[in-house]
Structure 1
Amino acid sequence: MYYHDKRLQYPVTVEKPDPAFARMLQQAIGGVEGEIRVCMQYFFQAWGNRAPTTKYRDMLLHTATEEIGHIEMLATAVALNLDKAPTSLQEEGAADGIVGAVMGGGSAKGAIEGMIHKNLLSAGLAAMPVDSDGVPFNMSHIYASGNVAADMYCNVAAESTGRTLAVRLFNAAHDEGMKKMLHYMIARDTMHQEQWLAVIEELGKEASMPIPNSFPQENEDQQNNYNFYVTSLDGSYPEGRWTAGPSIDGKGEFTVFRNEPLGDEPVLGAARPDSGAQAEQIG
């Protein structure tokens, strides 16, 4: 169960509402890099966690719940930035944005929709669970595999792309209140990256590889588990840590293999009479 406090996790203030920035903030709510994504990802990882102890489940629940607060902050920020958004072409302030968009090569229709369409018509000038283009977040980017190590690497990627987005929003912000909110959210993304990396370290880091480490490695193809496949016609390849020396997990040696067919040409044969194929396809 969960408890709610009416106060925000961190102050959210807007001195000069900016409908265009409100639309940008929607990416941090409902985009693939956004807060709904990480919130739901951590919840489902926690709810499905199986282990001798609830240590990692408990940790994930704390952070997932924190992310609810981030969604609340961003939703508040969107609403505040839409506070003085024009709701028709006749309103003062609408013309400037439209003219600017057209002068920049855009269309008046696009400029109007960008400022008022979804958030006005569907939410009454409030935030929505959508990205900056109005596409609803559909949960297809929620990764909860049941393997705690795999999930932690997914979480590092999620927080890394989320922090990248937050930095871009910080750089795009003109309002001091928005910059303060984002500088806090960037800091939390820093912690969460470190948090998931700390779990990976506890699990053994490189020694826990390859994932899942419960599968007997002698059952995999020993001729193809640590060789870098070269697919260029001339056989050239970028040399790096991955082309020579001991593997990262210390269980093999990196080598280079010039890719060549190891199998035969697939021949499926004639089509079935009941498959809906042309008569010429049926043997």
Structure 2
Amino acid sequence: MPVHRVNGTSLYYEISGRGTPLLFIHGHGLTHEMFQPQIDYFKASYQVIAVDLRGNGQSGKLQAPSAKVIDIQCEDLSLLLGFLGVRGAVLIGADYGGILAQRFAYLYPNQVRALILADSLSKNTATSPSEKVWRSLWLVSQLANYLPGELFLRSLKVMYNRWDLAYRIIRKSMLHKRTSEMLVQSLATNQVDYTALLPLIRIPACCIAGDQAETDVRNMQDTAHRLPYGEFATIPDAFHLCNLCQPELFNKLVQDFLEDRTAER
């Protein structure tokens, strides 16, 4: 599959189908493979582009200070879309990919026609006591990514015991994780606060969370509220990475949004 030299590194990507371009942006420590159920579903009617961000999967090294990581990865994607001749894509980002999608829509508005954000956030700074509690819990959850493989996979199996597909795809990524580059990307999210940027992103946006992930629900509700054309939806009986917990329901929700909100753009 193609590898494109861009911005001093290499980006691995897969492209298939024809129609409105959909750019899938994966989550923290994962790869384009986390969207395989969506790639298989949407490639019949859309042009599907799935990429490994630099520092992840089969793409090149991430060598940048944490404060610049997100903007550099956004620039990578912008250049890739230009290389592919894509003028306006729907960005579909999960977890860390959703953070990137928001920043990309702000930096490169002419390259984006809509946003679909899943299990992500737009503000990762804490001010109130309750926010500081949730921030502490989030940091603890991130540390689990750096546990020795056996310990992490054991806890992962318990967490995703009802969602085997999600477990298997996360497990595969964690067995091949690039720990130092994961850490830099974690640090890059530590001070994310896009609350001032969101009102400027004036395109259709759908913010999705699994109903079993309370933090994701709260974050996606807040993000949708701040986006001028934001909508919020939940996926029933789904946890973090709801596209893998309930792929059929997720695909149907995204399909409906695309047909209702982007057909005329």
State TM-score, norm by structure 1. Answer: 0.28
Greater strand share, structure number: 2
- Which structure has the larger Rg? 1
